[in-house]
Amino acid sequence: MSGPRRLAVYPGSFDPLHNGHVDIIDRCLPIFDDLLVAVLRNEEKQPLFSVEERVEILHQTLAGRARVRVESFSGLLVDFMDRVGAITIVRGLRALSDFDYEFQMALMNRRLAPRIETVFMMPKEEYSYVSSRLVKEVFMLGGTIDGLVPPNVVERLRGKVRA
Ligand code: PNS
């Protein structure tokens, strides 16, 4: 089938990237032609990793996936979507606890830009409890996060502790 390539945007903080995110990215690849992972540049939040570090981690991890690209954005997501010419937002949905926040965001984005649709994808069960917040907390308190994040993220976290 020819026609314009279907581009989806997977936005988030990715502070840091974990295997649940990577699983969602891999689930997108059979569905969309191209995927843009969009890292929010949020001056209000105090992230552990800078936007540049988060983009670099994503680049390293996703290097073998030719149809995935990574960019940062600031401002409204729907404006970014217009700039890159995408109409589909992908969000991961883990448990009921994610639902309220995701539902509000999806409907607000629809109100702002009715042409944009949000698609929810469920990660593999073994990642259904994994979040960036918990990964950071467990690591900082000395627990193991092997298997929950890509190996380069463990390295980067070790670097933060040493710094
Ligand atoms: O990984 P996160 O922190 O849950 O991702 C949240 C994100 C980046 C998708 C959301 O905060 C966002 O889109 N921010 C951009 C600003 C915006 O468009 N706000 C209105 C959304 S309803």
What single string gives the DSSP state of each residue in 55-123?
A: HHHHHHHTTT-TTEEEEEE-S-HHHHHHHHT--EEEEE--SHHHHHHHHHHHHHHHHH-TT-EEEEEPP
**CA 14 to CA 64: how far, in whole Å?**
19
**CA 150 to CA 61: how far, in whole Å?**
7
Structure token pair of residue 25: 């990215």
pLDDT tens track for 42-85:
877 799 999 999 999 999 999 999 999 999 999 999 999 999 99
The residue contributing the CA closest to ligand 1 atom 1 is 12
- For residue 99, report the distance from its CA to the centre of ligand 1, in Å: 14
pTM: 0.97
Query: At 36, is the secondary structure helix, strand, or coil?
Result: strand
pLDDT tens track for 88-117:
999 999 988 899 999 999 999 999 999 999
* Closest ligand 1 atom to Cα of 45: 3
Under a CB-based contact definition with an 8 Å cutoff, are residues 16 and 132 in contact?
yes
pLDDT at res. 36: 98
Order of strands, edge to edge, in the sheet holding 7-12? 68-73, 34-40, 7-12, 88-92, 117-121
The residue contributing the CA closest to ligand 1 atom 4 is 12
Say which amino acid occupies 25. Answer: I
- Output the ligand 1 site: residues, CB below 6 A: 11-13, 40, 76-77, 105, 108-109
